[in-house]
A and B are shown apart, each in its own frame.
Chain A
Amino acid sequence: MLLTLHKREEALGRGAPVVYLCALALSLCVCALMLALAGKPALGGLAVLFRGAFGQTHALLDALLKAIPIFLCSLGVALSFRMQIWNIGAEGQFALGAVGATWAALTFGGQPAVVLMPLMLLSALILGALWGLIPAWLRLRLGVNEIISSLMLNYVGILVLEYLVFGAWKDPLSFGFPMSPEFPPAAQLSRIWPGVLGKLHWGLLACPLAGVAYSVFLNRTRLGFELAACGEGERVARYARLPYGFLVLLVMGLGGALAGLAGSIETSATLGRLQPTLMVGYGYTAIVVAWLARLKPWPIAFTAFLLAALRVGVEAMQLELQIPAAFGQIMEGAILLCVLAGQFFLTYSVSLKRARPAAPKASPQPEEAQA
């Protein structure tokens, strides 16, 4: 038997979901194996995961809640991935957005919500965008690799947040815990319908707005088309006289602003104060989501919800089986690796062929020789 590869004439269309499902199944097997390795029930653990994630209404609502920041960050990184600019700094931009919102909430605390909320949003957007523009500028001006610089700024951004809550913004009433004072009510996003929709807050509205803006920008504007063309690489873009530098700044700035927006929504709606526990890795999950969804807005929304549900499921596993929270990371990594490998079958077909000598004259057929 011999494996032969053929490049498909066009990428697999209808069969694609099968490929994705197989990749997902494979990654679940890997995760089950890891559970067994840690001495936990493998199948029972996965059952808890799925029941915890999809079993109850409040779990689904919780997933929707967690999907908000993931979706916003993911749109941001997807924008830059489209032009092969590897912005992996969403985590740090998220942190800076939270810092910006907190600054406005603590400085203009006396203002009514109509004034305070826009101020918080604005400062979050600006700080997030600035944090994203640093690696963009370094790359354009000096040729610094944006993967590493944006990642390093994640660590720095989180430490900036910690520096503030351990120092200048520390709540005098917090008994030494690193947290800012609680925001005034005008600075807290309210819940939509507390009795029915649980903790779901008005920040949810930002998602459809950002999603529609994203697809209009990409599909209906000149800049959006130019951005897609830049995906072919810097040399092509420069040859076609596209405004490559401007587009790099634009996508990194917008990506940072989106992550900053997510950060401000999270501080204002879920915690109501600035705290290091805000940073739970949404910025990294967003990268996984963006790639799994192949950078398209609707799939990003769907995938963001799925991975958020996974986080909820892992919380159930933590409670019931004392499984460390890091299990969620293993799942994200395994799914991404499997899907990445699986995408090969979208462009290549593999067929099994019996190994036969090329020229029949040269030697007898193997089966006949055996007979």
Chain B
Amino acid sequence: MSPELIIALLAATVQAGTPILYATLGEIISERAGVLNLGVEGIMALSSFAGFMACHLTGSAWLGLAVGGLAGALLAGLHGVVCQVFLGNQVVSGLALTIFGVGLCNFLGTPYIGQSTDGFHQFAVPLLADIPLLGAIFFRQDALVYLSYLAPVAVWFLLWRTSFGLGLRAAGEMPDAASAAGRNPQRLRFSGVLLGGLLCGLGGAYLSLAHTHLWTTGLSGGRGWVAVALVIFAFWRPGRAVAGAYLFGGVMAFQLRLQASGTNVPSSLLLMLPYVLTIVVLVFSAARARSARKNGPTARNSAAPAALGVNIEPVG
């Protein structure tokens, strides 16, 4: 492989990793607030269509992005209503949300298959783009990729440096304690779900607005599930999510290049790669978490929020 090819592959890695990064960050916020949302796949699917449609109708990529994010928050809100208000089982509700969201995307999107949209385009960031190697990989991308560089920092700041974030994490670890401290854990959880859905929605919108520019159904292709797995890999921390997202971006980009190059390896085997890798990554993180647990005090650093998946029962 020539150096140019490797640089192109790494740049493609960043692009393919970006939607997964957004979704993983969204799911981290939701799970930190104590709500397991298995609907990410459905949210990404619906948002990819909502974003495409808005951009298709108005011609504005940013409006498409906003509508995509909004659609994500709305669908996540449905999960919030079912689990927070009506105390539905979070696993089942999330699965139902995925079935519903993917179905809705295919149902509404079928008439528009094959239509293209303008969306976001790549531009070089002045000065930064001229850095050798790094410039070509990281700074000749589109606006959403640049935004995604800031997103992990923003999520980290929100969760660990603001009072809202402290309350959100308390609602995920020990809702009773949050309540005793005068916070409303239900409201905190709901905002976590909505915010998480918004980020997953941005990831979905990226797929149609920046990744393909061409509408077709099934754009999410399991990326939502990868994001759910990456949250475990990331130990619920935004920083580690970046590594996981780019790892998957790399595999997806590599697999696409290999297919395009006309290799002898059957495409069904290449397509398996990201799914098999997800399981491998989970095995790896489980082993890491296990060895961390043996070291005692740092154990909490790798464990899931204590009240994850447990609904708050109403009093009275």
Contact = CB atoms under 8 A, between A and B. Distances in A.
Do they bind each other? yes
Given A159-B275, A326-B105, 13 more contacts: A5-B314, A138-B283, A148-B282, A149-B278, A153-B275, A159-B268, A159-B269, A163-B266, A326-B110, A330-B103, A332-B103, A333-B97, A343-B88
Given A142-B287, A284-B99, A341-B82, A330 B91 contact: no
Interface in B55-114: 78, 81-82, 85-89, 91-93, 95-108, 110-111
A327 interface: yes
Contact of B99 (A7, A323, A333, A342): A333
A229 to B, nearest CB: 19
A327 B272 contact: no
Interface string A145-184: 1011101110110011011001100000000000000000
Contacts of B108: 34, 37-38
State the 6 A-B residue pairs at the shortest beta-carbon distance, nearest first.
A333-B100, A329-B103, A326-B106, A340-B88, A336-B96, A341-B86
Contact of A344 (B88, B101, B269): B88
A257 to B, nearest CB: 21
Of the candidates A326, A334, A348, the one having the most CB atoms from chain B within 10 angstroms of its own CB is A326
Contacts of B92: 291, 336, 340
Contact of B225 (A144, A151, A160): A151
14 contacts: A5-B314, A144-B279, A145-B229, A148-B229, A152-B225, A163-B269, A167-B266, A323-B107, A324-B107, A326-B102, A326-B107, A330-B107, A336-B95, A337-B82
Nearest to B293: A143
A5 B316 contact: yes
A262 interface: no
A86 B91 CA distance: 8
B95 A326 contact: no
A6 interface: yes
Interface of B is mostly: helix
Contacts, number: 155
A152 B276 contact: yes
B266 A34 contact: no
Interface in B263-307: 266, 268-269, 271-272, 275-276, 278-279, 282-283, 286-287, 289-290
Interface string A48-78: 0000000000000000000000000000000
A155 B222 contact: yes
A258 interface: no
Nearest to A148: B229
Contact of B104 (A144, A167, A323, A330): A330
B241 interface: no
A162 B268 contact: yes
Contacts of A237: none
B38 interface: yes
Q: How many interface residues does chain B have, given as a range? A: 35 or more
Contacts of A330: 100, 103-104, 107
Contacts of B99: 284, 288, 329, 332-333, 336
A148 B225 contact: yes
B110 A156 contact: no
B35 interface: no
Contacts of A328: 103
B228 interface: yes
A332 B96 CA distance: 8
A342 B97 CA distance: 16
A130 interface: no
Contacts of A230: none
A316 interface: no
A4 B313 CA distance: 14
Nearest to B282: A144
A287 interface: yes
Contacts of B78: 337
A117 interface: no
B114 to A, nearest CB: 15
A160 B271 CA distance: 10
Given A288-B96, A329-B102, A330-B100, A155 B275 contact: yes
B210 interface: no
A131 to B, nearest CB: 13
B195 interface: no
Contact of B106 (A152, A166, A329, A343): A329
A119 interface: no
B209 interface: no
A88 interface: yes
B232 interface: yes
Contact of A152 (B97, B271, B279): B279
B223 to A, nearest CB: 11
B106 A156 contact: no
Contact of A147 (B91, B111, B276): B91
B18 to A, nearest CB: 21
B260 to A, nearest CB: 18
Contacts of B103: 326-333
Contact of B275 (A34, A152, A288): A152
Interface string A279-291: 0000010011001
Interface string B217-232: 1000010010011001
A333 B92 CA distance: 10
Contacts of A342: 86
A142 B107 contact: no
Given A142-B287, A288-B99, A337-B82, A344 B282 contact: no
B286 A142 contact: yes
Nearest to A333: B100
Interface in A297-348: 323-334, 336-337, 340-344, 347-348
Of the candidates B87, B96, B102, the one having the most CB atoms from chain A within 10 angstroms of its own CB is B96
Contact of B93 (A284, A340, A348): A340
Contacts of B100: 329-330, 332-334, 336-337
A240 to B, nearest CB: 21
Contacts of A163: 266, 268-269
Contacts of A343: 86, 88
Nearest to A326: B106
